[in-house]
Structure 1
Amino acid sequence: MHRSVSRLPAALLAACTLAGCASLQSSDQNLLGMVTPYRIEIVQGNVVTREQAAAIQPGMARAQVRDILGSPLLADVFHADRWDYIFTIRRTGAEPQRRSVTAYFDGERLQRLDAPQDLPSEAEFVSSISTAKLPAKLPVLELTPEQRAKLPAPARTEAAPAAAAPTGATRDYPPLEP
């Protein structure tokens, strides 16, 4: 009898603990719902923007295309006249993105560039990956001329009396250089 009485508090504590764990996992508004694991941001490839694609013209040398778009993510040995620029990004708080741009060459000269019509501009791309939350209303940092005119004039103060010459011991130090 004594053993079963001493095990009763331990059994009740275990039951309460398990019941508490189950209720924490079932609700989104709890400690476990707020704590999430760190997810690494994965960025692969080169971003090709609308401005970069517009700068590419047929007849450009491979070096010129590489200067504008960067090194291709995929330069296949079996398709030497084709460069693939594939870009993917997964970022917490932003939509995942995937784009593919292909440059076709005829020898050393660009034949054509296959790019989707919906390539973002540089500003659009930066805003699409930004996870910063801007305030609803930005503060005004400068007064308008009307607001400046409404400000009270500064109070006039009388000129401060001339400061007296400092008093105290004067010391004569030897020169630092011989």
Structure 2
Amino acid sequence: MIILTSKNAKLIALAAACALSLSACIRPYQPDIQQGNIINNSDLREIRYGMSKQEVLFILGTPMVIDPFNEQRWDYFYSKRDQAKKETSQRLITVLFEGNKLVKLTGDVDLANVQQLEPSTEDKQHGGTVITEPTQPEKGLLNRLGILDSRN
């Protein structure tokens, strides 16, 4: 049988307060949220006026929206929410056809300047995975001081 004294009660209250304050410091992992069509600058460089719908479909993929009242307009939308930075980046490309030929590309990019586009983050994509630099700091005091090198 455990007897609860005022000293034990203080220790329990202190331990509970420490546990609560430490639990407030822990933030659960939240993955980045991507929605829509990934729009690569390298893919946009391949688009030319006069292309057929089939060629545009092959390069950019299935559009997110085909206007039911105007089948000559395709909309490609991409949104990425970076949970760490609490930022959302978006791209919208609208493709307009006359008959079966591409006549206009509007939105975040002008087809006349598409050759000058810098490679986007999505251009580094390989096999469905975006390749990025490691963001985790080196673990351990000896590794950070250079005494022990864990990469070998």
Q: 2:124, 2:131 within 8 Å by CA — same for their partners in 1?
A: yes
Say whether 1:81 aligns with 2:72. yes
Say whether 1:8 aligns with 2:6. yes
Say whether 1:54 aligns with 2:33. no
Residue 132 (structure 1) aligns with: 133
Inter-CA distance 6–38: structure 2 relative to 1 (3 Å threshold): closer
What RMSD, in angstroms, separates the aligned Cα atoms of the two structures?
Answer: 3.2
Say whether 1:109 aligns with 2:101. yes
Q: 2:41, 2:123 within 8 Å by CA — same for their partners in 1?
A: no
Inter-CA distance 104–122: structure 2 relative to 1 (3 Å threshold): same
Q: Which is richer in strand?
A: 2
Q: Under a length normalisation based on structure 2, what TM-score does the superposition of the two structures give?
A: 0.61
State the one-letter code of the partner of 2:13.
A
Q: What secondary structure is seen at the aligned counterpart in 1 of 2:45? A: helix
Distance 2:88 2:45 in 1: 24
Bigger relative contact order (CA 8 A; separation at least 6): 2
Q: Which string of whole-angstrom CA distances, capped at 9 and with x for unpartnered residues, describes residues 33-88 of structure 1? A: 3x431323322222223332232222221111101111111112123221111112
Alpha-carbon deviation of 1:112? 0.5
Q: 2:39, 2:122 within 8 Å by CA — same for their partners in 1?
A: no
Q: 2:34, 2:79 within 8 Å by CA — same for their partners in 1?
A: yes
Structure 1: which 5+ residue stretches go unaligned? Answer: 26-31, 135-178
Alpha-carbon deviation of 1:110? 1.5
Q: 1:46, 1:73 within 8 Å by CA — same for their partners in 2?
A: yes
Distance 1:85 1:126 in 2: 20
Distance 1:6 1:96 in 2: 53
Structure 2: which 5+ residue stretches go unaligned? Answer: 136-152
Say whether 1:99 aligns with 2:91. yes
Q: 1:89, 1:98 within 8 Å by CA — same for their partners in 2?
A: yes
Q: What secondary structure is seen at the aligned counterpart in 1 of 2:55? A: helix
Correspondences of 1:159-178 after superposition (within 5 Å): none
Which structure has the larger Rg over C-alpha atoms?
A: 1
Q: 2:40, 2:122 within 8 Å by CA — same for their partners in 1?
A: no
Taking only the aligned residue pairs, the percentage that are identical comes to 30
Say whether 1:39 aligns with 2:30. yes
Provide the aligned length of Structure 1 versus Structure 2.
122
Alpha-carbon deviation of 1:108? 2.1
Q: Under a length normalisation based on structure 1, what TM-score does the superposition of the two structures give?
A: 0.53
Q: What secondary structure is seen at the aligned counterpart in 1 of 2:103? A: strand
State the one-letter code of the partner of 1:75.
I
